[in-house]
Copies of this chain bind each other. A is one copy, B any other.
Amino acid sequence: MSSYPIMINAFDPSRASELPENEQALLARRQRVLGPAYRLFYEHPVHFVRGEGVWLYDAEGAAYLDAYNNVPSVGHCHPRVVEAIARQAGQLNTHTRYLHSGILDYSEMLLATFPGELSQVMYTCTGSEANDLAVRVARQFTGGTGFIVTRLAYHGVTDTIAAMSPSLGTRLVLGPHVRVVPAPRSAGAAANPVVHAAAAADGGPQVGRDFAAGVEAALGQMRREGIKPAGLIVDTIFSSDGVFADPPGFLQDAVAAVRRAGGVFIADEVQPGFGRTGDSMWGFQRHSLVPDIVTLGKPMGNGYPVAAMVAKPDVLAPFGSHCRYFNTFGGSQVAMAAARAVLEIIREERLRERAQETGHYLRRGLAALGENFEVIGDVRGAGLFIGVELVDDRATLSPATRFAGELVNELRRRRVLISAAGPAANVLKIRPPLPFGRAEADLFLETLEASLAHLQA
């Protein structure tokens, strides 16, 4: 648990000489002009030139099934989003200090998808900026400074938010007022993945109690150190922690504890939001609670840089009276046009429902694979955000880290894109664009089965 790779599924540049010449040339240019902080995916990086729906195409025209990218959520290059961007970019693209109805129309449409108390929204360009703003708002409202995050949380890359993102690696120094708690451990990580649902239902309350106990301990630590709590922030699908969705409601005890201590609850919906979890538009709804602040990002504009923070008006008020906030590109007409197209497509193409249906189908198929492949220790998630925990031993759940890496790369060789997550990098992260349907799920399952068989042969 204490050591994990600096980045899961990263290309190792020392192996550049094994690549084809044209890719070596691209790589050399990258290293020269982009410097040392950039990373590529896979043992053999992929060079894409075109995207459409759930497919990406490489420079030779080969098609890859995208079961990984959650940003192009309504499908790569969805023509309606492209058209909305092009039309608005040709008409007007300026800031929010002039009146414009576009931002209001979209805001009203977006806020209608939230519980009534969450009735105000502010726009940024990235999820990092949204979380950064949420932290400022929470501090101003509570008068506190302490934040609780999960052990392998990822919330973004601004200075303040990177210091609250332990998944960025152990060399990154966390903020002095940041406390780390264990991620909720799904009760479903049982010997037989097929019984997952039943186990989850059984072990349900315990998951919530365990997670709350971690949060209570962190709050106690803050009390002793004289740190006033500002809030608890979690990605409601716990993506980088290893994908934990069940049992529904397990967040409630922890949130209640934080509120008793004077802090707020920030739901980071940058990854689970916009229908991906299937049963609802927002991951927090799975837990039957109303956060004080919610942050949105990645799929919001299907790749156009737009993000937001939604808040209860009383939580936002102290920040609003102390600080003005202006984000040059945030809430611009083009950003709003792109975001509106995405929201309309989700509704009209029933993508949330589709995520729900395909997600069920896919998890059932994965659980079935578990009958033949002992390495599958757990299948979990919600909608089209799925985690498959690979283990060397189903009794001890010892992580099959190396195997997970080989499998991700074997799938890439077979032109299927996923990655891995979790402290031991042994949880397959399956997170396709939402138009992913049964046909693609079947193709995915077949390719996964063949890859498992190949690697275990």
Contacts and interface: CB of A to CB of B under 8 A. Distances in A.
Nearest to A38: B96
A208 to B, nearest CB: 31
Interface stretch (A46-54, A217-225, A379-387, A395-403): A46-54
Interface string A101-133: 101100110010000000111101111110011
Nearest to A30: B104
Nearest to A28: B104
A160 B90 CA distance: 35
Contact of A79 (B37, B51, B85, B90): B90
Contact of A56 (B6, B47, B50, B94): B94
B125 A26 contact: no
Nearest to A70: B328
A94 B71 contact: yes
Q: Which interface residue of A82, A133, A157 has the most chain B CB atoms within 10 A?
A: A157
A322 B171 contact: yes
A72 B119 CA distance: 32
Nearest to A89: B82
Interface stretch (A234-242, A257-265, A312-320, A439-447): A312-320
Contact of A125 (B34, B298, B305, B325): B305
Q: Which interface residue of A26, A49, A56, A69 has the most chain B CB atoms within 10 A?
A: A49
Which bracket fits the contact residues of A? 35 or more
Contact of A89 (B48, B77, B100, B108): B77
A286 interface: no
Contacts of A50: 91-92
Interface string A7-40: 1001000000000000100110110111111111
A327 B48 CA distance: 18
B71 A328 contact: yes
Contact of A126 (B97, B125, B171): B125
The 8 closest A-B pairs by CB, nearest first: A36-B320, A86-B86, A47-B99, A35-B120, A305-B329, A159-B160, A305-B305, A93-B303
Given A39-B324, A128-B129, 5 more contacts: A7-B324, A35-B313, A41-B97, A76-B93, A298-B328
